[in-house]
Amino acid sequence: MLPHALRRGLSVTGLLLATSFSAAALANETVTIQHSSGETEVPVNPQKAVVIDWSTLDTLQQLGVTVQGTPSNTAPELLKQYRDGDFIRAGSLFEPDLEVLQSTQPDLIITGRRAQGQYAEVAKFGPTIDVTPDPKDLLGSLERNTRLLGQIYAREAEAEALISKLEASVQELRKLTAEQGNGLLVLTTGGRMAAFGSGTRFGMIHDVFGLPQAVDNLQVGRHGHSVSFEFLLEANPDWLFVMDRDAAIGREGVAAAQLMDNELVKATTAGQKGQIVYLDPVSWYLLDNSGIGVMQTSVETLIEAFSAANR
Partner 1 sequence: MPGSELTPRGASAPRVTVWLIILLALVVGLALWSLNVGASRMSLLNVLTGDPDDRLSKILFASRLPRTLALLLAGSALAVAGLILQMMARNRLVEPSTVGTMEAAALGLLVLAWLAPGAPLPLRFALVSVFALGGTLIFLAVLRRIALRSALIVPLVGLVLAGVIAAAGALLAQQLDLSQSLRAWNSGDFSAVLRGRYELLWLAAGLTVVAMLAADRFTVIGLGKDFATNVGVNYGRLMLLGLLLVAMISASVVVVVGAIPFIGLVAPNLVRWLCGDQLRRSIPLVALLGAALMLAADLAGRLIIHPFEVPSSGLLAVTGCLVFLVILIRGRKQWA
CB of 285 to partner 1, least distance (A): 10
Residue 258 CB, shortest distance to partner 1, in Å, is: 9
Residue closest to 87 by CA, chosen among 67, 65, 69: 69
Q: Which of 38, 234, 257, 272 binds partner 1 (CB under 8 A)?
A: 234
CB of 221 to partner 1, least distance (A): 10
**Is residue 84 close enough to count as binding partner 1 by CB under 8 A?**
no
95 binds partner 1 (CB under 8 A): no
Tell me the window of 44-52, 260-268, 272-280, 300-308 that interacts with partner 1 (CB under 8 A). Answer: 260-268
267 binds partner 1 (CB under 8 A): yes
Name the residue type at position 238.
D
C-beta of 173 vs 186, nearer to partner 1: 186
Residue 206 C-beta: closest distance to partner 1, Å: 17
User: Considering only residues 84, 86, 179, 263, which one is a binding residue for partner 1 as defined by CB under 8 A?
Assistant: 263
Quick one: which of 19, 73, 164, 307 contacts partner 1 (CB under 8 A)?
73
By the rule CB under 8 A, 225 interacts with partner 1: yes
Q: Decide if residue 272 touches partner 1 (CB under 8 A).
A: no
Residue 159 CB, shortest distance to partner 1, in Å, is 31
Q: Which range of residues in 61-69, 145-153, 184-192, 269-277 is near partner 1 by CB under 8 A?
A: 184-192
Number of residues engaging partner 1 in binding (CB under 8 A):
29
What is the C-alpha to C-alpha distance for residues 172 and 18, in angstroms, rounded to an integer? 26
Between 31 and 248, CB nearer to partner 1? 248
SS3 per residue for the chain: CCCHHHHHHCCHHHHHHHHHHHHHHHHHCEEEEEECCEEEEEECCCCCEEEECHHHHHHHHHCCCCCCEECCCCCCHHHHHHCCCCCEECECCCCECHHHHHHHCCCEEEECHHHHHHHHHHHHHCCEEECCCCCCCHHHHHHHHHHHHHHHCCCHHHHHHHHHHHHHHHHHHHHHHCCCCCEEEEEEECCEEEEECCCCCCCHHHHCCCCCECCCCCCCCCCCEECCHHHHHHHCCCEEEEEEHHHHHCCCCCCHHHHHCCHHHHCCHHHHCCCEEEECHHHHHHCCCCCHHHHHHHHHHHHHHHHHHHC
Judged by CB under 8 A, does residue 287 bind partner 1? no
> Does 270 sit near partner 1 (CB under 8 A)?
no
Question: 9 and 166 in contact (C-beta within 8 Å)?
Answer: no
Q: Output the smallest distance, CB 91 to partner 1, in A.
A: 13
Binder of partner 1 out of 26, 75, 98, 233 (CB under 8 A): 233
CA–CA dist 138, 160 (Å, integer): 17
Q: Residue 236 CB: number of other CB atoms within 10 A?
A: 17
Does 156 help bind partner 1 (rule: CB under 8 A)?
Answer: no
Closest CB 98 distance from partner 1, rounded Å: 18
| Residues at the contact surface with partner 1, assessed by CB under 8 A | 73, 189-193, 195, 225-231, 233-234, 245-246, 248-249, 251-254, 259, 262-264, 267
